Structure 1
Amino acid sequence: MRDWILKRKAGSDGRISDTDALSTYIGTIIPRREDKGRLEDEARSNGETRQFLTRVEVSFNSKANYYTFEIPALGFTHNQTIVEDYVWDRIKDELIGEAGGWGLVKLGYMPPEGNKKNGCFTLLDYKNFCPYEVNLDAYREARTHFTVEEWMDIILGAIDYNPDGYATRGLFDTEIWEAKHTMLTRLLPFVEPRVNLVELAPQQTGKSYIFGKIGKYGHIAGGGSLSRAKLFYDIASKRFGIISSNDFVAVDEIKSIKFSDNKEMQGILKGYMEDGYVNVGGVKVEGDAGIILLGNIDVNDMDGSKDMFRELPEVFRDAALIERVNGFILGRKIPSLTNAMIINDWALNTEYFTEIMHLLRAPAETLRYLGLVEQLVWTKHDVDKREKDSVFRLCTAYLKLFFPHADKELIKDSRFRSDFVKYCLQPAKRMRETVLMQMKIIDPSQFSKRFMSTYKLREDDV
């Protein structure tokens, strides 16, 4: 959304010359909740509203045999809206499959008919605001022109961070690399289905920004109350929750999160994180969304050999639940953000990049990259299944992120193989090993004798 607006209002040098005019434009194109009454009057009195930018969520009403929509930011709900068939046929390619998305919207109004007491607001037009041609093959080809170090900096720019800003923190070169790599590790759920992560880290390192502001395909749930109905399925309204319509769901501020039923939520999370589906009231709820648990803990507790879960709610202090987490992000390696670390220059377009990451989650893409990982990585035959699945899933996600151009020929290259170990395999092993260490601390009677298997590059020809 930001880039879409700036593209229309910035000069050829990418800068805004009239910030007052930009502010006025934003106020017009993005209405606030208090503008709902004005939009309702436009729809009723004029037959249509002005075009505006918002997020629309669609749902099919099987009883009434038509589609409805809601605009959460403005308070328009499914029970007061309709998408007429002639409109749906025209816009469905822009909306279907997204369970809603950001776009340019125009509303109308349908007065009550016959014995009906209430009229409906109608969706007259919807245009996805993505103005780019998103082509994975072109993206892969572009990657071949950069080293992996250069590519890391390009990705950082795409998510609004200045790669040169890390050098201003007085870090050693190895610390700068770790800080950058750890920051980008947060993107693994953006490119790989069902990546479950935990990050317990200092404040002001950008956790909420990455998961809440980068792209439109994820959902961040803040601290407070969170229900099974919101996450998975609402039995009363027969509506699926946010798990089924997002690439990931990040639960922020987990130290303060509360569930209406801890045991129910613990059980349902374990089931979903293991299998990718759960049954709620006889309804099968499926999803590809990863579960991301985010929280702030004392810097003295940021050590894998200590109990990093000791201040968290009891629902999360369950080794069986933690075992279903694929990896632990070592957020202490990311320095607190400063202005110098925020990009203020040309960069890869954020919206384009998030569309690319979303496409990389497709089943065919996942099988392609997983196949390469399986050709590259050797481990013992008797390895624990959850451990192996986690390491391979993380490696697959890293491969998509840093080496999208990888193929069966490139993986034979000695330089690539060395980079793969550094950027993919070793970090994946460390992330999973931290999970295992926490399992041992929380339930030593069951896990104290479990150790990580060996993972290394295959010696034979690939």
Structure 2
Amino acid sequence: MNTLDQKINQWFPGLVVRKDLVRAVRGNAIVPSYVLEYLLGQYCATSDEATIQAGIETVREILRKHYVHRNEAGLIRSNIREKGRYKVIDKISAVLNYKSDVYEAQFSNLGIKKVLIDSGTIKAHPKLLVSGVWCIADIEYEFTEDKNASPWLLSALKPIQLSNFDFDGYLEARRQFTTSEWIDLLVQSIGFNPEMFGHRSKLTQLIRLIPFCERNYNLIELGPKGTGKSHIYSEFSPHGILISGGEVTVPKLFVNNTTGMIGLVGYWDCVAFDEFAGKQKRVDKALVDIMKNYMANKSFSRGVETLGAEASMVFVGNTQHTVPYMLKHSDLFDDLPGKFYDSAFLDRIHFYIPGWEVDIIRGEMFSSNYGFVVDYLAEILRSLRSHDYSDRYGDCFSLSSDITTRDRDGINKTFSGLMKILYPHGEATRDEIEEILRFAIEGRKRVKDQLMRIDSTYGNVRFSYFDTSGQIYPVATLEEQEYPNHYHKTIAVGEDGNITAAVQPSAPGVLPEPLTPADPVLQAKHLSFQENQKGLSFDALLGPYLRGATAITVTDPYIRLFYQVRNFMEFLETVVKHKAPDEEVSVHLVTMADELKSEQQKDNFEKMKEAAGTVGVNFTWEFDDTGTIHARHIVTNHGWKISLDRGLDIFQHYEMNDVFTFANRLQQYRPCKAFEVTFIRHQL
């Protein structure tokens, strides 16, 4: 275990589990992660390896004996008959047989129906009436001559979820972790390795948890396939349900006027719509209208009666085009079905997760470290739904008066949700509060900026905030910084069906300097780049300042690991691209030796030296034995010093072994880390 794992086990004993165990015990059992982790939490919530291995075998044995596979349902039914009583793990739902005035259960995998279930169990677990609940149940078999009676009897039922927890203990334990440690613990809890994500990417993952801790929160995430958009809503919590976007109806979602039964929003904390995108999908206009009212007012009508609910709504779907294409030709809601491509509906969205910033899930991104048993975290988040943290920034900051009430509500709900997730104990610094406030504003701004493209009746809004001194801080979305030429346009469809685009004036001070310093005359300047920003390359950023130099010195103490050495090789490629074929350039590297693999490091440098020599680059290096170099910069012999606060390590993790990935071949398709660069003229 690493230091964080030890700390996690110290402060949350019995409530955490090693995340790779889920994959170890799942086998061919098609059950949500929270079901498996519930069982692992009973037998493997420890750091003792012997106990863990014994617990794994116990859980495997429980699944082998009691989890019902559909193709083995006949065998299980036979076991129940022969033994008279048997324990099963299955998804159970219930219906009211109003002709007989009894409740009847149905077992999804076992394939049995009309199993009598008492009204007390229904009252204790009302979700049985809507889409079903995963349970551990004892089934009995008793044959009867009555053709109308079922031989199956339900003698005991226990939903697979935590029965109690100590909320005050949770808050006290939170105080023992730094913010970065706590974020890593949460990322590990949802199954990912935090080392594979930048800080912004971690926050993006945690945004997905807000619907579980914030009432009536409306979230949308659109992006490429394979980024795990629906994973949280299907696997993470017994209080959320994931449904296909094409399967939902007004009676199923809200209320059945015939039976009077409340729909999904009355029983679940989070209702997520999978595969929500798709222009050709048929959508019931009445459903959209009721959803608009519910998302805005938390209520819906049943005849003359108005009912309320607190389920959050999440919409996830795949995009068909790149971000610059959508911004140039349409908008970021372009892939939604026609009935949902409605400004009144979209205005109810509190936050738009930019799915194009989320990496496609790869094997190495999963965690093998400790995280919360997800059912424990799910119960904590559920208890936080009754708290309101939306005013926690009021002592430090205030929103611009330009921001409308609906925009303000979206920002406040996102801020409140992130505060609950990251700082449930309420102890956040001014900088930490500012960070999540900016993040909340950006997510709502992404919605509003697209609405302004779709509907010209929406006025331009200055998304900014003030501190107590009156200093104003404008907020921009990342795609606004990456594609300023396309972002500020109004897309309109004329009567002739032709699409026209008009450039909008952007709010002053919002847009940064251009991404690439391609000035006709090179200038001294300072540039800042956000995490996950794309379109960046050594060629565009550094190339113009290296052109014409015959001697270049690079000082970077961290050219050790393979990806760092590869970065330096790509820097040499940039030098080659910007020198004349008939010129030679000397490149000297000052770095520090790798304490564990110095021979491998030297071997890599020798190979680069040999390769560079064939294309007119004389590469040399030296190790700084003092261990005191910290600054990272590039100095040329023709008058430029380039100060890079991260050195050449400016890109996020990407799949370096996949030659068919463009991020591997072209730097501009890699998301970058947050960094700053300063170009300084210096005396020769």
Establish whether TM, by shorter chain, passes 0.5: yes
Task: Tell whether the 8 Å contact from 2:223 to 2:318 is kept in structure 1 after alignment.
Answer: yes
* Aligned-partner Cα distance in 2 for 1:59–1:377: 51
Aligned twin of 1:26: 63
Q: CA deviation at 1:373?
A: 4.9
Q: How does 1:347-426 map to 2 (within 5 A)?
A: 347-361=371-385, 363=386, 365-366=387-388, 369-373=389-393, 377-379=397-399, 383-406=403-426, 410=427, 416-422=429-435, 424-426=436-438
Q: CA deviation at 1:73?
A: 4.1
SS in 2 for 1:358: helix
* Aligned-partner Cα distance in 1 for 2:99–2:466: 55
Q: CA deviation at 1:457?
A: 4.9
SS in 1 for 2:398: strand
Aligned twin of 1:234: 256
Q: Which has the higher contact order (CA 8 A, sep 6+)?
A: 1
Aligned twin of 1:125: 156
- Classify 1:343/1:98 alpha carbon distance in 2 versus 1 (closer, same or farther; 3 Å): farther
Deviations 1:44-63 (A, max 9, x none): 56543x11223334566677
Task: Tell whether the 8 Å contact from 1:327 to 1:390 is kept in structure 2 after alignment.
Answer: yes
* Aligned-partner Cα distance in 2 for 1:84–1:45: 25
SS in 1 for 2:276: coil
Task: Tell whether the 8 Å contact from 2:224 to 2:320 is kept in structure 1 after alignment.
Answer: yes
Q: How does 1:306-325 map to 2 (within 5 A)?
A: 307-325=331-349
Q: 1:439 aligns with which of 431, 451, 455?
A: 451
Task: Tell whether the 8 Å contact from 1:309 to 1:316 is kept in structure 2 after alignment.
Answer: no
Aligned twin of 1:3: 37
Aligned twin of 1:173: none
* Aligned-partner Cα distance in 2 for 1:310–1:247: 28
Aligned twin of 1:82: 116
Q: CA deviation at 1:183?
A: 1.1
* Aligned-partner Cα distance in 2 for 1:150–1:27: 37
Q: Is 1:343 the equivalent of 2:355?
A: no
Q: CA deviation at 1:201?
A: 1.2
SS in 2 for 1:272: helix
Q: How does 1:284-295 map to 2 (within 5 A)?
A: 284-295=306-317
Q: 1:249 aligns with which of 241, 247, 271?
A: 271
* Aligned-partner Cα distance in 2 for 1:225–1:244: 18
Q: CA deviation at 1:245?
A: 1.2
Aligned twin of 2:569: none
> After alignment, is 351-360 or 283-292 more displaced?
283-292
Q: Is 1:140 the equivalent of 2:153?
A: no
RMSD: 3.3
- Classify 1:390/1:64 alpha carbon distance in 2 versus 1 (closer, same or farther; 3 Å): farther
* Aligned-partner Cα distance in 1 for 2:442–2:274: 23
SS in 1 for 2:252: helix
Q: Is 1:71 the equivalent of 2:71?
A: no
Give the counterpart letter for 2:430 in structure 1: R
> After alignment, is 97-106 or 322-331 more displaced?
97-106
Aligned twin of 1:172: none
Task: Tell whether the 8 Å contact from 2:40 to 2:55 is kept in structure 1 after alignment.
Answer: no
Aligned twin of 1:54: 90
Q: Is 1:107 the equivalent of 2:139?
A: yes
Q: CA deviation at 1:74?
A: 3.8
Deviations 1:212-249 (A, max 9, x none): 11111111113544322222223445433222211111
* Aligned-partner Cα distance in 2 for 1:266–1:233: 14
Q: How does 1:190-339 map to 2 (within 5 A)?
A: 190-256=212-278, 262-282=284-304, 284-298=306-320, 300-301=322-323, 305=327, 307-339=331-363
* Aligned-partner Cα distance in 1 for 2:324–2:225: 12
* Aligned-partner Cα distance in 2 for 1:264–1:227: 9
Give me the TM-score of the superposition, normalised by structure 1.
0.81
Deviations 1:234-273 (A, max 9, x none): 3445433222211111111122488765311211110111
SS in 2 for 1:127: strand
Name structure 1 gaps, 5 residues minimum: 167-175
> After alignment, is 386-395 or 299-308 more displaced?
299-308
Q: CA deviation at 1:111?
A: 6.0
Q: CA deviation at 1:137?
A: 1.1
Task: Tell whether the 8 Å contact from 2:281 to 2:337 is kept in structure 1 after alignment.
Answer: no
* Aligned-partner Cα distance in 2 for 1:149–1:357: 19
Give identity over the alignment, percent.
24
Task: Tell whether the 8 Å contact from 1:198 to 1:294 is kept in structure 2 after alignment.
Answer: yes
* Aligned-partner Cα distance in 2 for 1:377–1:44: 67
* Aligned-partner Cα distance in 2 for 1:19–1:161: 21
- Classify 1:72/1:279 alpha carbon distance in 2 versus 1 (closer, same or farther; 3 Å): farther
Deviations 1:375-415 (A, max 9, x none): 55523567522111111111111110110001xxx4xxxx6
* Aligned-partner Cα distance in 2 for 1:380–1:288: 29
Name structure 2 gaps, 5 residues minimum: 1-34, 471-684
SS in 1 for 2:430: helix
SS in 2 for 1:239: coil
Deviations 1:102-153 (A, max 9, x none): 3321123566697x72336432112344467512111111111111111110
Q: Is 1:158 the equivalent of 2:189?
A: yes
> After alignment, is 6-15 or 140-149 more displaced?
6-15
* Aligned-partner Cα distance in 2 for 1:53–1:371: 44
Q: CA deviation at 1:194?
A: 1.0
Q: How does 1:168-179 map to 2 (within 5 A)?
A: 176-179=198-201
Q: CA deviation at 1:345?
A: 2.1
What is the number of equivalent residue pairs in this alignment? 429
* Aligned-partner Cα distance in 1 for 2:76–2:324: 50
Q: CA deviation at 1:360?
A: 1.3
Task: Tell whether the 8 Å contact from 1:227 to 1:260 is kept in structure 2 after alignment.
Answer: no
Deviations 1:408-437 (A, max 9, x none): xx4xxxx61210111x21111001101101
Give the counterpart letter for 2:92 in structure 1: V
* Aligned-partner Cα distance in 1 for 2:326–2:368: 35
* Aligned-partner Cα distance in 1 for 2:156–2:276: 39
- Classify 1:209/1:146 alpha carbon distance in 2 versus 1 (closer, same or farther; 3 Å): same
> After alignment, is 67-76 or 189-198 more displaced?
67-76
Aligned twin of 1:169: none
Task: Tell whether the 8 Å contact from 1:205 to 1:335 is kept in structure 2 after alignment.
Answer: yes
Task: Tell whether the 8 Å contact from 1:111 to 1:118 is kept in structure 2 after alignment.
Answer: no
SS in 1 for 2:301: strand
Aligned twin of 2:465: 455
* Aligned-partner Cα distance in 1 for 2:202–2:304: 45
Task: Tell whether the 8 Å contact from 1:200 to 1:297 is kept in structure 2 after alignment.
Answer: yes
- Classify 1:42/1:72 alpha carbon distance in 2 versus 1 (closer, same or farther; 3 Å): same
- Classify 1:84/1:317 alpha carbon distance in 2 versus 1 (closer, same or farther; 3 Å): closer
